[in-house]
Amino acid sequence: MSDKTATTGQPIFSPFNIVAGFILLVGGIITILRFTQGLDAVTNLSDDNPWGIWIGFDLLVGVALAAGGFVTSATVYIFGMKQYHAAVRPAILTGFLGYALVVLALHYDVGRPWRLPYPFIMQRGTTSLLFEVAACVALYLTVLFIEFSPAALEWLGLKRARDIVIKLTILLTIFGVVLSTLHQSSLGALFLIAPSKLHPLWYTPYLPIYFFVTAVIAGLSMVIFESSLSHRFFSHKMDAVHLAGKDTVPLGFGKAAALVLAGYFIIKVIGISAGNTWHYLATGYGAWYLVELFGFVALPAFLYAVGVRDKNITLIRWTAALTVVGIVVNRFNICLVAFNWHLPAGERYFPHWMEIGISVFIVTLGVVVYRFIVTRMPVLYEHPYDDVP
Amino acid sequence: METIFTLQAFMLHTKNITYVLMVAALIGITGFWLFLTEHDDE
């Protein structure tokens, strides 16, 4: 057997492949355990803590970080900022994979995959936020699939089909923005039902707005973060247009992220004021809240601003990574840390190692599929259109 | 902590503080915008 793959010329037993292969193998075994032995065998979930990291990380963080797709396509096609066009396809691909993996991860938590269409055919839960989230995610996943399909169609040489899909670009972008606005905010609204369970500093009627605004911040930061990784590992796949966008995208998106973060900081403080929860800031939870507010909101806003002013691309990229970590911290705080804060320590939730294993498995799967696609399809370079028959 | 007994008192108290904060926020975001775009012409 050849030790090199036929298409990429890379060695099969590279460090990346070995590590990814091991994670996927362990993930596969845990998957079998989960679907044959049930939740109890692989999780620390309980009646008090029915939502663990499969919801807090895989779903809430996954959906937020996948917002780069609608943010970038809206920037380019609705606001007309064509200088960021090179970032659209990688962002759409990241968004599509992100949402696809969110749906996959949801199966682990909910179980019974054959019941996935139940919200649409078996009951009429149209007043439920979960119904709205399910509908929006299903529709938006379809929109992202169609938005990304021109790259696959160019790869397959199907020019006529590709031309038809390209004509739908504006329509799909508008759909994407509308659907994202709806379900990103609804994920925050899910927690409005639990005012007695969520700590008062995190519980606020503004939660839906917070979730939507942080999704925009996550989308902008993920595009910068993903772009920096692509330029590092896939620069040999990029054409001149994409290589020229190396600085344009971080500077433009960094500026937008700085301003949105500053706005988010303001509405977070307004949230404390409107709820009159100032006195909680002097507690342990308050200290952690201030770490989130200043360490993962105010600090990135300032660092982005300094990076943009000084045109310091390295600083902007590190700030994007810090902001992405901040989104993870925010969703963990709302779903896990500040949730059930009244419970005694012994009854609090901490994830089972197999829950963490599945989350790592899902992320690794996304990285492997992303790598597979960008090394084959015209994502980081323009397809030689004239060569398409 | 000051004790608040009625919704009217609560709304009056929180809105008073929020309006003051909003003025500070509008001034602050303007300053941040000027800081952010100061070198745009270069």
pLDDT tens figures, A85-113? 989 999 999 999 999 999 999 999 998 88
Q: How far is B19 from chain A (nearest CA, A)?
A: 9
Q: How far is A247 from chain B (nearest CA, A)?
A: 15
B12-33 tens-digit pLDDT:
999 999 999 999 999 999 999 9
pLDDT over threshold 50, residue A1: no
Element at A111 (helix H, strand E)? none
The whole-number average pLDDT for the span A379-384 is 80
- pLDDT score recorded for residue A12: 80
C-beta of residue A344 within 8 angstroms of C-beta of residue A329? no
From the list A307, A321, A358, the residue with the least C-alpha distance to A228 is A321
**Burial letters for A329-366: b for 16+ Cβ neighbours within 10 Å, e otherwise?**
bbbbbbbbbbbbeeeeeeeebebbebbebbbebbbbbb
Residues from chain A contacting residue B32 (CB–CB below 8 Å): 258-259, 262, 301, 305
Residues from chain B contacting residue A263 (CB–CB below 8 Å): 29
Given B17, B21, B36, which is nearest A305 (Cβ)? B36
Residue-averaged pLDDT of chain A: 91
Claim: this prediction has a pTM higher than 0.90: yes
Q: How far is A192 from chain B (nearest CA, A)?
A: 20
The whole-number average pLDDT for the span A181-188 is 93
Question: Could you tell me which residues of chain A have a Cβ less than 8 Å from any Cβ in chain B?
Answer: 255, 258-259, 262-263, 266, 269-270, 273-276, 279, 301, 305, 308-311
Helix residue spans in A127-239 (DSSP H): 129-156, 159-166, 169-189, 207-233
CB contact under 8 A, B36 and A273: no
pLDDT over threshold 90, residue A319: yes
- pLDDT score recorded for residue A2: 45
A345-366 tens-digit pLDDT:
888 999 999 999 999 999 999 9
| CA R_g for chain A | 21
Residues from chain A contacting residue B14 (CB–CB below 8 Å): 273-276
From the list A158, A157, A159, A116, the residue with the least C-alpha distance to A135 is A116
- pLDDT score recorded for residue A293: 97
Residues from chain A contacting residue B1 (CB–CB below 8 Å): 279
Distance set, CA A141 to CA A3, A59, B26 (Å): 36, 14, 38
Provide the 3-class DSSP secondary structure of residue A6. Answer: coil
CA dist., res. A217 & res. A257, Å (int)? 6
- pLDDT score recorded for residue A143: 95
A224-274 tens-digit pLDDT:
999 888 888 888 888 887 887 788 899 999 999 999 999 999 999 999 999
From the list A215, A221, A217, A211, the residue with the least C-alpha distance to A188 is A211
Taking every pair of Cα atoms in chain B, the longest distance, rounded to a whole number of angstroms, is 57
The whole-number average pLDDT for the span A325-336 is 96
CA dist., res. A156 & res. A151, Å (int)? 9
pLDDT over threshold 80, residue A54: yes
pLDDT over threshold 80, residue A123: no
CB contact under 8 A, B35 and A305: yes
Is the ipTM reported for this complex over the cut 0.85? Answer: yes
Distance set, CA A49 to CA A6, A109, A182, A337, A347 (Å): 48, 12, 26, 11, 9
Q: Which CATH architecture has domain A15-382?
A: Up-down Bundle (1.20)
Residue with tokens 């064509």: A82
C-beta of residue A207 within 8 angstroms of C-beta of residue A188? yes
pLDDT over threshold 70, residue A171: yes
- pLDDT score recorded for residue A8: 55
